Amino acid sequence: MLSPTTGYAISALGCLACHDEKFVLTREIAECSGIPRQYLAKILLTLTRKGFLVSLRGSKGGVKLAQDPSKTSLHEICVAMDDPITKVRCMLNTADCSDDRACPCHTFWKEHRGAALEFLEKTTLQEIGDFSDHACNPQNHPIDQE
């Protein structure tokens, strides 16, 4: 499972994936995605600093994706958000767990974590945007109604 912050980051980026080159306000992304606005603002700042977003101030401002969403993997976002799934660590947080001295959960976690990482590497941001009717349907939110 991803951290709530990473999940929110992916949801926000998925919302933006539906809007091509258009700048979108934080308020509109929050309404579209259901993410608390103050929390979203911090996430968007991190994503901008990490190169996933371009921001523009002013009346025509907001944020937009910095790169093609079909070329951005969920794994890249997880790494940028420093999600725990990207860290090699014991499922039980046992410091001395390794391939040489495995805890009872080691084999299970190694296999399942590997499958999760593979999924995140193969799944693109565009797929998230395509999936979410709420994010992409102008009738469900105000982004394209201006």
pLDDT tens, position by position, 22-46: 899 999 999 888 999 999 999 999 9
The length of the chain is: 146
pLDDT for res 52: 97
Is 14 domain-assigned? yes
**Is residue 107, in this structure, part of any structural domain at all?**
no
The CA R_g of the chain, rounded to the nearest whole Å, is 17
| Exposure letters 2-13 (e unless 16+ CB within 10 A, then b) | beeebebbbbbb
Give me the torsion for CA of 39, 42, 44, 50, rounded to 10°. Answer: -140
Task: Tell me if 13 is assigned to some domain.
Answer: yes
Of residues 64, 57, 59, 76, the one with CA closest to residue 13: 64
Helices 26-33 and 37-49: angle between axes, nearest 10 degrees: 110
Q: Please tell me the least confidently modeled range out of 90-104, 108-122, 124-138.
A: 124-138
* Structural domain count of the chain: 1
**Predicted pLDDT at 89:** 83
Domain with 26, as residue range(s), is 4-86+124-140
Using one digit for the tens of pLDDT, what is the confidence trace for 69-99?
999 999 999 999 999 999 888 888 877 778 8
- Write the CATH number for 49: 1.10.10.10
Residue 29 lies in a domain: yes
Domain contains 18: yes
In a domain? residue 103: no
Residue 32 in domain = yes
Q: Which residues pair with 63 in a beta bridge?
A: 24, 55
Q: Are 22 and 29 in contact (CB under 8 A)?
A: no
